Copies of this chain bind each other. A is one copy, B any other.
Amino acid sequence: MQIGLIGLGRMGGNIARRLIARGRHDLVVYGRNADAVEAPHQEGATAGSSLKDLVGRLAAPRTIWLMLPAGTVTEDHVSELGDLLGAGDTIIDGGNTFWQDDIRRAAELRKKSIHYVDVGTSGGVWGLERGYCMMIGGDKAIVDRLDPIFATLAPGIGLIPRTEGRDGRDPRVEQGYFHAGPSGAGHFVKMVHNGIEYGLMQAYGEGFDILKNANVEALPEQYRFDLDIPDIAEVWRRGSVISSWLLDLTASALARSEALESYSGFVEDSGEGRWTVNAAIEEAIPADVITAALYARFRSRRDHTFAEKVLSAMRHGFGGHTELPPSESVAQPKDRSTSS
């Protein structure tokens, strides 16, 4: 299939490569960075010199996949393409766009009979090799027409055992992609996927933290363990209830560096976690774990919060407590004074 691909970063570049190598698709690519175009060009892609040029190189009905940072960059490209494309053409947004933006865009483009498909794409830098899990929103007919693209990018059944009881259900799901619903549904499902991801990551993080600190000086009878964290991560990969791909990655990082010295612990969040919490609130769902995971990231990026200073001020106010130097061990309560 002929596909225009815009955005050749970490994700876009790999998608281009997979589309060419596995699908023999006919790619026309464009990226802001001229160097980034080089690699796909080598592998057989045509390079457009501009959005307009890229559009001109595609035969109608055109299909253009955007793989750009969510937010303004994607928005601007969709907007510009809205002017360049014509009736029957399709824009696919494969990035991490906010699903309500999809709904708005789809409605606007529909006025020009341009189709819009939102694809939540999971797989990270491993997708090139493993394939991408895709959650797709948009009109069914269009999604069906684009099937060759998704089929190429998806991992396929591979070695992952089939789930019993799925006979009669859409077989594409087992290939690793599915049509979630109307516009926005793809990114909505991907958003929740990432919200879950936050929760999973934090659960592992807390567990390893507890293991790492199992040697408490003040409680030498009980907390006397110097545990081998890399070995624990590895052993859990094998037959335990909590084996997962995220654990695989953790085991791998720990095998390289037991103390993870190269990481400081400032953890970014990329939008989906926030949107998931917003959705939970609008649906009145108690999402304690996902939210706590998000907040742990917020906190990781602060030196101290104003909240903490307020606490210290109150403690000083009612009990005359003064703060202890942070250098002192924190595991045990410092102040068992009789006040408050």
A101 CB to nearest B CB, Å: 11
Q: Enumerate chain B residues within 8 angstroms of A244, measured Cβ to Cβ.
A: 200, 242-247
Residue of B nearest to A203 (CB): B199
Within 8 A of B (CB), among A132-161: 132-135, 154-155, 157-161
Number of copies: 4
Assess A250 versus B313: contact at CB under 8 Å? Given A202-B199, A214-B188, A264-B323. Answer: yes
Q: Enumerate chain B residues within 8 angstroms of A281, measured Cβ to Cβ.
A: 274, 277-278, 294
Interface hub of A155, A189, A205, A331 (most chain B Cβ within 10 A): A205
The CA of A288 and the CA of B185, in the complex, are separated in Å by 29
* A260 part of interface (Cβ distance < 8 Å): yes
A231 CB to nearest B CB, Å: 5
Residue of B nearest to A156 (CB): B238
A162 CB to nearest B CB, Å: 9
* A33 part of interface (Cβ distance < 8 Å): no
Contact A339 B227 (CB under 8 A): no
Contact B268 A285 (CB under 8 A): no
* A68 part of interface (Cβ distance < 8 Å): yes
A310 CB to nearest B CB, Å: 4
Pairs A–B under 8 Å by Cβ, sample size 7: A180-B232, A188-B225, A192-B207, A201-B315, A205-B305, A285-B305, A291-B291
